[in-house]
């Protein structure tokens, strides 16, 4: 099944207790595609300015990522983000952000992408996510990400978006802000009432939780890794492997969602092991399967 992602391509500067990485490639669509391509061909939709220092064809060399939807916009500047992490790596501070091209009109969906079966709308303004979604003719399964900023500033647009999608992926802080509920089980139930039929709440080092409108609930711990260098992009890699697996499976049922979440967790565990995309880029499918099997073993009882 075809998988389309639309999201950011960024120039990231990150500081963690383990070092400083300046002007490296980042962005939600990049991390997502790197992880999703383990399982499914990816249709990549995004925009950069003509100052972008990265060659995306080289970045995705050896991966099945179609870049027909990549737009290089003359006269515009590429999205930039800088952030730093505290000692426990759970607290991230945004030091600076330059939306640049992300504050402009979104890229157009190529005609060849309009029949995508699975679609992931990575974090951006809900109005832009809706605008892009309207260019897709027949998607069978649509997922989206969001963030605190849009929950606070674009609540009505976000509610409209949630009524159009099948899966919402967000973190625990965002789930509480969106619903006003401290208890995550209650928060998940409230989100399902708003519109999507599946919700996945990410809890960082504590794992993730899935709930759907069939009454199914699944709680998964994080992969027990000892090496955490840079958590940037872990959530996007989680979503990428999740959606890639679902697209490969061609169905979204309880078993597929559980397996997809395990692969998402594994992809995130590789991403946090190095700066930028190099942790997930350096992993192979055999490495993914080994950690999948390890996580299966440590969660059996």
Provide the pLDDT for residue 194: 92
Neighbours of 23 (CB within 10 A): 13
With b meaning 16 or more CB within 10 Å and e meaning fewer, what string describes 175-198? bbbbbebeebeebbbebbeebbeb
Provide the pLDDT for residue 164: 94
Cα separation of 159 and 56, whole Å? 33
**pLDDT string in tens for the chain (301-residue length):** 899 999 999 999 999 999 999 999 999 999 999 999 999 999 999 999 999 999 999 999 999 999 999 999 999 999 999 999 988 787 788 899 899 998 898 899 999 998 999 999 998 889 889 988 888 877 889 999 998 888 999 899 999 999 999 999 999 999 999 999 999 999 999 999 999 999 999 998 899 999 999 899 999 999 999 889 999 999 999 999 999 999 999 999 999 999 999 999 999 999 999 999 999 999 999 999 999 999 999 998 8
Q: Show me where the domains of the chain are located.
A: 3-299
Cα separation of 101 and 78, whole Å? 6
Yes or no: domain 3-299 corresponds to CATH 3.40.1190.20: yes
Q: Report yes or no: 180 and 210 within 8 Å, Cβ to Cβ.
A: no
């Amino acid at each position: 099944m075809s998988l389309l992602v639309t999201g950011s391509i960024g120039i990231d500067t990150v500081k963690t207790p383990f070092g400083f990485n300046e002007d490296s490639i980042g962005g939600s669509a990049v991390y997502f595609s790197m992880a999703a391509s383990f399982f499914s061909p990816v249709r990549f939709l995004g925009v950069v300015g003509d100052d972008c220092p990265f060659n995306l064809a080289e970045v995705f060399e050896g991966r099945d990522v179609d870049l027909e939807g990549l737009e290089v916009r003359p006269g515009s500047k590429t999205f930039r983000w800088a952030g730093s992490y505290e000692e426990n790596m759970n607290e991230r501070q945004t030091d600076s952000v330059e939306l640049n091209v992300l504050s402009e009109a979104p890229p157009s969906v190529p005609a060849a992408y309009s029949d995508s079966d699975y679609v992931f709308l990575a974090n951006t303004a809900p109005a832009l996510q809706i605008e892009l979604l309207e260019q897709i003719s027949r998607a069978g399964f649509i997922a989206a990400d969001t963030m605190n900023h849009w929950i606070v500033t674009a609540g009505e647009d976000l509610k409209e978006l949630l009524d159009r999608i099948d899966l919402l992926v967000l973190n625990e802080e965002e789930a509480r802000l969106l619903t006003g509920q401290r208890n995550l089980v209650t928060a998940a139930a409230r989100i399902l009432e708003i519109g999507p039929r599946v919700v996945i709440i990410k809890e960082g080092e504590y794992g993730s939780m899935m709930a759907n409108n069939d009454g199914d609930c699944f709680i998964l711990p994080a992969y027990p890794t000892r090496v955490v260098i840079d958590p940037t992009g872990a959530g996007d890699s989680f979503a990428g492997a999740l959606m890639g697996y679902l697209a490969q499976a061609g169905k979204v049922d309880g078993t597929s969602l559980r397996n997809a979440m395990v692969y998402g967790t594994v992809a995130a565990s590789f991403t946090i092991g190095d700066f930028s995309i190099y942790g997930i880029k350096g992993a192979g499918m055999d490495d993914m399967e080994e950690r999948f099997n390890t996580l299966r073993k440590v969660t059996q009882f």
